[in-house]
């Protein structure tokens, strides 16, 4: 779940002034002299440029154990690869902007099959309000490309910094395994490292516990690239949409269901059948003047790093394998089935933060 660097298109080659070439057809000595002086200056500048960086080239070549000529070839190859990467990034960003679709038309798209918003009671923001699903389907975009565009979109939020958002994608089978575990054990607590308060405890690692809770919102309809108003609606074969709310444990104890979640993760399985992926979107709650969230990073109630740790903890406790007979699985089961046997120290040993 990974931030995007800013993109800048490579500088285009600019042709020299046509006046330089006009001297070829001129018999004037004046223009011929100008042409010679121009070539002489250009050659001298080239020599000066090479001399200026000769020492750096020698030093770099000695560090890498190659000759000067090989060093020059390597540098040219690196520059060529950098230009290629910038061009690919620019193309991906352009395609991402075309797929992005904040739906402001409302009623004008109420009859669109692929772009219409869901009419169920789900509180989840529809995926269609973030991506143009009809373009995704009509352009035969592969799952890997959709995931890259999804990450690029969230990385461009908040003035291009990506702050306040996390994004990722996962295979459908991985999500279904995690979803099966979550339906059996929808609640848990995870620790986040904090600085110790007090001189006597400065050598001990402090933790703040976060209460997490899953919610399930039914299966989203499978998107279509075309609309048939007379076709009968079909039952969706997509997995359930799900959300995870993370709240500081102390605040949850005080406010219960009225507690403010600091971080919300949403899993979008809309493209599970068509592209074989489930998209993940994480949103950090913006901070208010009265929130008193000392651990936030300015405008948010949680830092980017802490949000990433919470997202990783979901995988640690809800993605089991056949060999996992203890550890995370055992703790999750005890938390629900035998809370008296649940041990906080075992939790801290299991979670590697």
Instruction: Give me the pLDDT at residue 335, please.
Output: 96
Instruction: Give me the pLDDT at residue 62, please.
Output: 77
According to DSSP, the residues that pair with 214 across neighbouring strands are: 244
Instruction: Give me the pLDDT at residue 215, please.
Output: 96
Per residue of the chain (353 residues), give pLDDT as tens.
433 333 333 333 344 444 433 433 444 455 455 545 555 544 444 444 455 567 777 777 777 777 777 777 777 887 887 777 667 666 656 655 555 544 344 434 433 444 344 444 457 899 988 988 888 887 778 889 999 999 999 988 887 788 899 999 999 999 999 999 999 999 999 999 988 776 566 667 889 999 999 999 989 988 876 655 555 556 788 999 999 999 999 999 998 889 999 999 999 999 999 999 999 999 999 987 434 443 444 589 999 999 999 999 999 999 977 666 568 889 999 999 999 999 999 999 888 64
Instruction: Give me the pLDDT at residue 78, please.
Output: 79
Instruction: Give me the pLDDT at residue 337, please.
Output: 95
Q: Is residue 64 part of a domain?
A: yes
CA–CA distances in Å: residue 312 to residues 116, 191, 307, 316, 352 = 33, 12, 9, 6, 10
> Last residue of a domain, which of 41, 71, 92?
92
Q: How many domains does the chain have?
A: 2
pTM of the model: 0.63
**Of 25, 229, 216, the residue nearest 112 (C-alpha):** 229
Q: Is residue 20 part of a domain?
A: no
**Of 338, 1, 298, 264, the residue nearest 154 (C-alpha):** 1
Residue 269: which domain range? 166-227+234-350
Based on the domain organization, do 66 and 186 belong to the same domain?
Answer: no
Based on the domain organization, do 191 and 331 belong to the same domain?
Answer: yes
Instruction: Give me the pLDDT at residue 322, please.
Output: 62
Q: Is residue 326 part of a domain?
A: yes
Q: Is residue 173 part of a domain?
A: yes
> Last residue of a domain, which of 92, 107, 137?
92
Instruction: Give me the pLDDT at residue 23, please.
Output: 38
Instruction: Give me the pLDDT at residue 81, please.
Output: 74
**Of 255, 260, 264, 241, the residue nearest 311 (C-alpha):** 264
Q: Is residue 112 part of a domain?
A: no
Q: Is residue 79 part of a domain?
A: yes
As a whole number of angstroms, the distance between CA 195 and CA 206 comes to 6
Q: Is residue 281 part of a domain?
A: yes
> Last residue of a domain, which of 66, 92, 118?
92
Q: Is residue 346 part of a domain?
A: yes
Q: What is the edge-to-edge ordering of all strands in the sheet holding 165-171? A: 165-171, 277-284, 263-268, 242-248, 206-216, 187-194
């Amino acid at each position: 779940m990974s931030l995007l660097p800013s993109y800048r298109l490579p500088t285009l080659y600019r042709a020299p002034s046509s006046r330089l070439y006009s001297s070829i057809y001129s018999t004037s000595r004046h223009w011929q002299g100008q042409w010679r002086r121009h070539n002489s200056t250009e050659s001298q500048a080239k020599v000066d440029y090479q001399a200026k960086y000769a020492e750096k080239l020698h030093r770099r070549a000695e560090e890498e154990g190659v000759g000067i000529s090989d060093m020059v070839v390597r540098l040219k190859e690196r520059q060529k690869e950098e230009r290629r990467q910038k061009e690919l990034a620019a193309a991906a960003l352009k395609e991402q902007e075309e797929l992005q679709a904040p739906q402001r038309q409302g009623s004008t798209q109420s009859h669109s099959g692929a772009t219409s918003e869901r009419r169920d009671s789900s509180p989840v923001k529809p995926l269609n309000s973030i991506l143009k699903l009809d373009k995704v389907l009509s352009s035969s975009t592969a799952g890997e490309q959709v995931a890259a565009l999804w990450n690029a979109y969230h990385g461009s939020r908040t003035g291009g910094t990506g702050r306040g958002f996390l994004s990722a994608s996962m295979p459908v089978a991985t999500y279904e395994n995690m979803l099966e575990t979550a339906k059996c054990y929808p609640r848990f607590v995870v620790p986040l490292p904090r600085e110790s308060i007090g001189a006597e405890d400065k050598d001990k690692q402090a933790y703040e516990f976060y209460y997490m809770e899953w919610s399930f919102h039914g299966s989203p309809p499978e998107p279509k690239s075309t609309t048939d108003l007379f076709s009968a609606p079909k039952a969706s074969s997509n997995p359930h949409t799900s959300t995870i709310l993370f709240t500081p444990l102390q605040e949850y104890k005080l406010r219960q269901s009225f507690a403010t979640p600091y971080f919300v993760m949403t899993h979008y399985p809309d493209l599970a059948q068509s592209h074989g992926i489930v998209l993940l979107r994480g949103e950090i709650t913006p901070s208010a003047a009265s929130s008193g969230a000392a651990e936030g990073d300015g405008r948010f109630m949680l830092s980017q790093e802490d949000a990433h740790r919470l997202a990783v903890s979901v995988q640690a406790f809800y993605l089991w394998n056949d060999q996992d007979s203890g550890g995370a699985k055992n703790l999750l089961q005890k938390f629900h089935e035998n809370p008296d046997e649940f041990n906080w120290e075992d939790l801290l040993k299991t979670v590697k933060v």
